[in-house]
Homo-oligomer: A and B are copies of this chain.
């Protein structure tokens, strides 16, 4: 164990039990005692600075990670060197689950702002999950939920237009912030316009125009990174109704 990467053990000990993210993170559903056991295998690492990398696509898989505070983006790089952002991760979310199958991280993780991370060495976690039934359950639940959100996102990309994608993006962030006890009405976008565009499968220019137009139409108020959702009903309507949706597809088989 690399002690240089662990900070201030004392003040953080028993951290999971005191962490406000318990209900979103791996400890959910565990007893205090079991959480203590989990705590013993968690490494708390020195915070990542904006722009620094947690791990790179292709690195050997050894640990899962949990975002503790801040935010990161995960992306893959193609042979030609272009990036595709896969997700933005907020506190309480687990990173690296997609590496279990191959033993290699398929994505790179970079901090969007100063970010604290908990490290969960996989072999020890797996061992503990074997002993603590609730942990095994929660691990599977977390992965399953990630499959779910991927499915929803695939749906977004497959048949939503730019307006719908953008509205969904904003509301999704809002509800995730709310689940973490922050305001979903006003928050900061830690990612750049170009990150948003890349993530949503749009051009930067299109995203920029969306910010402008949505503000003109009174749905949001933006000032650089800071955004307020003024008319969430209208944003919601944009996501749910799909009047011009492609492929109305009754799909009679």
Residues of A whose CB lies within 8 Å of any CB of B are 50-51, 75-76, 78-86, 97-102, 106-107, 110, 112, 126, 129-130, 133, 136-137, 139-148, 150-151, 153-155, 157-159, 192, 194-195, 197-201, 203-204, 240-242, 245-251, 253
Contact of B251 with A155 in the complex, beta carbons under 8 Å: no
Question: Within the assembled complex, what's the spacing in Å between the Cα atoms of A247 and B151?
Answer: 22
Could you say which of B50, B86, B133, B148 contacts A151, with CB atoms under 8 Å apart? B86
Contact of A242 with B78 in the complex, beta carbons under 8 Å: yes
Contact of A80 with B241 in the complex, beta carbons under 8 Å: yes
The 30 sampled A-B contact pairs (Cβ below 8 Å) are A50-B253, A82-B249, A82-B250, A84-B155, A86-B151, A98-B147, A100-B141, A100-B143, A100-B144, A101-B142, A101-B143, A101-B148, A102-B144, A102-B145, A106-B148, A106-B151, A112-B253, A129-B136, A136-B136, A139-B140, A140-B140, A140-B143, A143-B147, A150-B150, A154-B157, A158-B199, A194-B251, A198-B249, A201-B246, A203-B247
B contact residues around A241 at 8 Å (CB): 80
Within the complex, what minimum Cβ distance (angstroms) separates A55 from chain B? 15
B contact residues around A81 at 8 Å (CB): 250
List 4 extra interface pairs beyond A97-B144, A154-B154, CB under 8 A: A76-B155, A79-B240, A130-B130, A136-B136
Contact of B253 with A51 in the complex, beta carbons under 8 Å: yes
Contact of A251 with B83 in the complex, beta carbons under 8 Å: yes
**Least CB separation from A201: chain B residue:** B158
B contact residues around A145 at 8 Å (CB): 101-102
B contact residues around A203 at 8 Å (CB): 246-247
Please judge, given known A-B contacts A101-B141, A102-B148, A136-B136, whether A245 and B82 are in contact too, CB under 8 Å: yes
B contact residues around A250 at 8 Å (CB): 81-83
Within the complex, what minimum Cβ distance (angstroms) separates A175 from chain B? 16
Question: Within the assembled complex, what's the spacing in Å between the Cα atoms of A126 and B136?
Answer: 9
